[in-house]
Every structure is written in C-alpha cells, then in structure tokens.
Amino acid sequence: MKDDNIIELLSYIDPAALNYQEWVNVGMALKHEGYSVSVWDNWSKPDKRYHDGECNKKWETFNGSSAPVTGGTIYQMACDFGYKPPVGTVDEAMDWNDEISRDPLKVIEGVETQELKIPEKWHPRLQIIKYLETLFQADENVGYVTECWKNADGKYLPSKGSYDRTAGQLIDELSKLENDDIGAVFGDYNSDVGAWIRFNPLDGRGVKNDNVTDYRYALVESDSTSVEMQNTLIRELELPVAALVYSGGKSIHAIVKIDAGSAEEYRKRVEYLYSVCKKNGLAIDNANKNPSRLSRMPGVIRKGKKQYLLDTNIGKSDWNEWRDWIESINDDLPEPENLADVWNDLPELAPPLIDGVLRQGHKMLLGGPSKAGKSFGLLELCIAIAEGKKWFGFQCAQGRVMYVNLELDRPSCLHRLKDVYKALKIDANNIDKIDTWNLRGRSIPMDKLAPKLIRRAAKKNYIAIIIDPIYKVITGDENSADQMANFCNQFDKVCNELGCAVIYCHHHSKGYQSGKFYGPCKRLRRICS
C-alpha cells in the first residue's frame, strides 16, 4: 500500500469515533505497513482522549503476530467512514463462495445538505416540556445534569446530576413558570457549558446502566461531520427519531427509537444502527452506546448558542419499520408488474426436460419411503436424459446430467449405473453425458455445498443436476417452515446460477401416505437386483 494512499485513508477515519481496540488496531496496522509512530500520534491528536506519549508507549508493545493487523484494516475503516476507491482501481481476489453484491446497509448515494432552522425567538421551558412529553411517561424518573466540574486539563465535565424526579413532576413545575427561568426547576447551569439530560427512564436510585428501566432509545451523535450534513443524513436515513436536538456545538443529537427488550438486544440493535450510519457517511461517536448516556438538554444556552429541539418523531415510526426499510432497499428483488402490460407478449416458457412433468431450469422432488427404489428411479432418469429416452413413459430432453451421490460408495454407484443400462436394455451411446460426484462421507450442509456445486458445474452445460438424497445435506429443523424455506432456497440458487433443473429425493415419514410415487421405482429395483 503506497504511503500517500494510506495517509489519505487515515484522513477519512475520525479517531474520536473509534473505541479503544479500534484505535489500537490502527496503530498495529501502521507499524505492520512500515510507518513511524509519529503518523499514528499525529492522527490521534484531535481525539479528546489523546494523551501525550501514550502512542509511543503502546507502539513498543506491537511486536508482530502470526495473524497481524494490516493496512487492509485501515482501508475497511476508511470505507466505513465514507471513503470510495476511484473507479477502476478495485482489483481484489474473490473466493468462489463470495457473492458479488452491493453493500446491503448502503442506502444513500448522494444528498444535498439541509440547513438547520433555529429561530431567533424561543421559549426554553416549552422546549424542555415537549422533549419530556415526547420521550417519557409521566411517572418515569428522568436523569438530568446542570452542575459540572473542571478536570486537570481544564475541561468541564458533567456531575452525576439528579435522577429522583419524574417527567410529570418536571413538566408540572415548568408549566407553572411565569417566565423561562428553567433554573428554578432544574437548578442553574453554566452557560459556557450547557446542560445534559438522560434519554432513557431510570429507577430513581442511580444513573448507571443497571438503573435504566426501559431500553427505549439510543443516541446517534457525530463530531466529525458538519451539523448540516448530520441533519441531512439523519433525515435521509429515515432514522426513527423521537427527538432531534442541536447541541449548541459541533453535533446534532438524534434520540433514536430502539425499543429493545433486554440489554443484549439493546447492544445488538445499537451496533446495527451505528453500522448503517457509518456505511452511509455518518461517523458515529462509539462512546455513546450505553443506555444511560447523557445527551444535550434542549432549552439551554451553550457558549451563546441554543441547545435546541429541532424536531420530534421524524423518520420511520419505529425500529422494526426502519430496519425492514433498510433491508428492503437493496434486496435485489424485481418490481411488481401488471398483467395487462404483458398479456399480448407473454415470455416464452422454458423447454421441457421431462414432457408433462418438469421444465428445464425448474425443480422436482422425488419422495417415498425408505427402500422404495428412489435411487434406482433417479439413476434411470440420469440415463434417460443422457440418451434422450423416456422415463416411466415421459419423454426426456437429451443433454448432460450430473448425479450427486451422497449415499453410495463410489464403486457401488458406478456399478449400479451400468446395471441399470443393462436392465433397461439401453445402448450406452452417450455415457459421456453423465457425470457422478461421489460425496459419501464428505457431505456438508446444503448452504455450503451449493456454491461448491455451482463452481464445479459452471462450465459443463448441464441441463439437470440430481441430488440423492437430501437428508445428507439438510440444514435446520425439518419442522421449521422458516428454516426449510432457507434450505430449499439453495436449490433455487443452483437453478438460477446454472440455468439447469435440480432434481432431488427425500424419504417420506413412516406410515401410509396416499399418492406415493414408488411403484415404478420398486419395479426397476427388482429388475436391477
């Protein structure tokens, strides 16, 4: 990786938006690629957590690894922060199992920035009342901070604050004010620093994560993107925002509806939320992941600027609607079409593979009880397709076929094919059109087998692939419709990728089932025995 390239990539990555391990990974990657510690140190300085000498101290502990962190980590981080490689420069080796597709979390391509609309005149108490009414129930405890203290570096930090008053109590006291002196309710604050409020309800006994009573909201905040672009991206992403607050500084605070049922679900949803934001150019401050986090309180002044409630209840109505919307944008599904548009110009049907039974490129399941002769029936089908003969009275198209043998040992499979040829008295004129893939003892789940099968069959021009039996490659619980749908989708994938039919067999459950297709198979099995 060229020097100017990796330095350019670093310019896209905001150190303040990384957690500790991600920051360390950048340093390890730089050392692995041959850079000096000064590059890491200079890049780290804008982060408020920066301490002089820390990079040098940590650098000395990077002594190599059997699995080193490389420049590729920096490249991926830069992409997450919005870096786009120049057209025509991406030349990456892909595995056979890789899918070429657009990033499913990338939903914004280009936007025009939207300006913030903060009026000259305002009523601070009305701002806070609306905020409280939007986020809390009347009987829920609210945590807020108006007092602060100065650390050794001269920076003001919020105190623990108050947490034993309900939203209803605060709203009632604010409503009785004859002016906008909110200090009479919350206590006076330092106008150079502003004030804070917690966006999730508390139990009235503290302000830690354990004191949160409902994992309702998460904070989305960025310090490295202009406030106008933050405002634009938050709205374009349709985030389910309950309250949107301008911090009076470099960021907008979006209080996003998470509605998680547990701390673990909250963590997962916040990770997903932050991933979507990062993929779409909104660099997120990762320090805001905890549910008891403080946000900026609307209705106060901070260094002459208003901490202002910009909007409430924008974007999608809730978390589930938003997530479904995000995942539907890049689903690659076709658009609905009206029948009237194609009525007089219908598409051609796929040619038959088995007349009256199966078309080329489609799927077929052969089912029956154990020992009914299903495998013999499928071997006959292989021969009928290769030789262009009938299969149980149905004419087959002639072409190349692959038989995926998951049950028999290789010699038995090959001998059976020859035995069936002889039993049916069919001349072996086109045995070069039959391939066997013998996987007994080597079968893997179908979702892993499908890409390997596609790779081996891609240039063989098969018109049919026969898999016998599928219980060897089944994935998931057979009683779960959802898991079985995912399993069967693998056969669709093979059909679509190769343009051939897929035929597979499976055992019926024990007991009588009307319509079982095994009489002819039994006949064939007796012939070949």
CATH number at residue 279: 3.30.70.1790
Specify the number of domains making up the chain: 3
pLDDT value, residue 94: 44
Whether the predicted pLDDT of 29 surpasses 70: yes
Region 432-436 average pLDDT: 95
Token pair for 45: 């300085």
Instruction: Give pLDDT tens digits for 38-58.
Output: 989 989 988 888 888 999 999
**Whether 324 and 384 share a structural domain:** no
Helices and strands (DSSP H and E) totals, the chain? 17, 20
Q: CB burial class (10 A; 0-12, 13-18, 19+) of residue 469?
A: buried
Check if the beta carbon of residue 496 is closer than 8 Å to that of residue 432: no
pLDDT value, residue 334: 75
Whether the predicted pLDDT of 529 surpasses 60: no
Whether the predicted pLDDT of 291 surpasses 90: yes
Among residues 26, 56, 80, the one where a domain terminates is: 80
CA–CA distance, 24 with 3 (Å, rounded to integer):
20
Whether the predicted pLDDT of 448 surpasses 90: no
**Whether 152 and 197 share a structural domain:** yes
Compute φ and ψ for 316, nearest 5 degrees. Answer: -70, 155
CA–CA distance, 382 with 366 (Å, rounded to integer):
14
Residue 108 lies in a domain: no
Residue 96 lies in a domain: no
**Whether 370 and 411 share a structural domain:** yes
Residue 95 lies in a domain: no
pLDDT value, residue 247: 94
Instruction: Give pLDDT tens digits for 109-141.
Output: 666 787 888 888 999 999 999 999 999 999 999
Instruction: Give pLDDT tens digits for 231-265.
Output: 999 999 999 999 999 999 989 999 999 999 999 99
Residue 103 lies in a domain: no
**Whether 444 and 372 share a structural domain:** yes
pLDDT value, residue 516: 45
Residue 107 lies in a domain: no
Residue 214 lies in a domain: yes
Per the prediction, the chain carries an average pLDDT of 85
Per the structure, the complete domain to which residue 75 belongs is given by 3-80
CA–CA distance, 231 with 245 (Å, rounded to integer):
10
**Whether 515 and 367 share a structural domain:** yes
Region 145-153 average pLDDT: 89
Residue 366 lies in a domain: yes
| 302 CB-near residues (< 8 Å, 6+ apart) | 191, 192, 193, 194, 247, 248, 249, 296
Region 348-368 average pLDDT: 90
Query: What's 497's domain CATH number?
Result: 3.40.50.300
pLDDT value, residue 225: 80
Check if the beta carbon of residue 372 is closer than 8 Å to that of residue 406: no
Lowest mean pLDDT among 134-148, 204-218, 384-398, 443-457: 443-457
Instruction: Calculate the CA dihedral of residues 240, 246, 249, 255 and round it to 10 degrees.
Output: -30
Among residues 80, 108, 132, the one where a domain terminates is: 80
Instruction: Give pLDDT tens digits for 463-488.
Output: 999 988 877 666 555 565 656 666 77
The single residue listed with the structure tokens 């919307």 is: 325
Whether the predicted pLDDT of 521 surpasses 60: no
**Whether 152 and 62 share a structural domain:** no
Whether the predicted pLDDT of 277 surpasses 70: yes
Among residues 28, 47, 80, the one where a domain terminates is: 80
**Positive or negative CA dihedral for 125, 131, 137, 139?**
negative
pLDDT value, residue 310: 96
Strands 462-468 and 501-507: parallel
Instruction: Give pLDDT tens digits for 83-97.
Output: 766 544 444 444 444
CA–CA distance, 513 with 329 (Å, rounded to integer):
43
The single residue listed with the structure tokens 């009523």 is: 123
**Whether 29 and 129 share a structural domain:** no
pLDDT value, residue 10: 86
Report the candidate in 326, 307, 299 with the shortest Cα–Cα distance to residue 315: 326
Instruction: Give pLDDT tens digits for 316-350.
Output: 999 999 998 888 876 666 778 899 999 999 999 99
**Whether 479 and 392 share a structural domain:** yes
Token pair for 4: 């100017």
Whether the predicted pLDDT of 374 surpasses 50: yes
Instruction: Give pLDDT tens digits for 167-185.
Output: 999 999 999 998 999 999 9
Residue 116 lies in a domain: no
pLDDT value, residue 33: 83
Task: Identify which of 294-298, 359-363, 514-518 has the greatest average pLDDT.
Answer: 294-298
Share of the chain above pLDDT 70, in %: 85
| 478 CB-near residues (< 8 Å, 6+ apart) | 484
**Whether 176 and 246 share a structural domain:** yes
**Whether 312 and 457 share a structural domain:** no
pLDDT value, residue 278: 87
**Whether 323 and 237 share a structural domain:** yes
pLDDT value, residue 319: 96
Whether the predicted pLDDT of 66 surpasses 80: no
Instruction: Give pLDDT tens digits for 181-237.
Output: 999 999 999 999 999 999 999 999 999 999 999 999 999 998 778 899 999 999 999
**Whether 256 and 134 share a structural domain:** yes
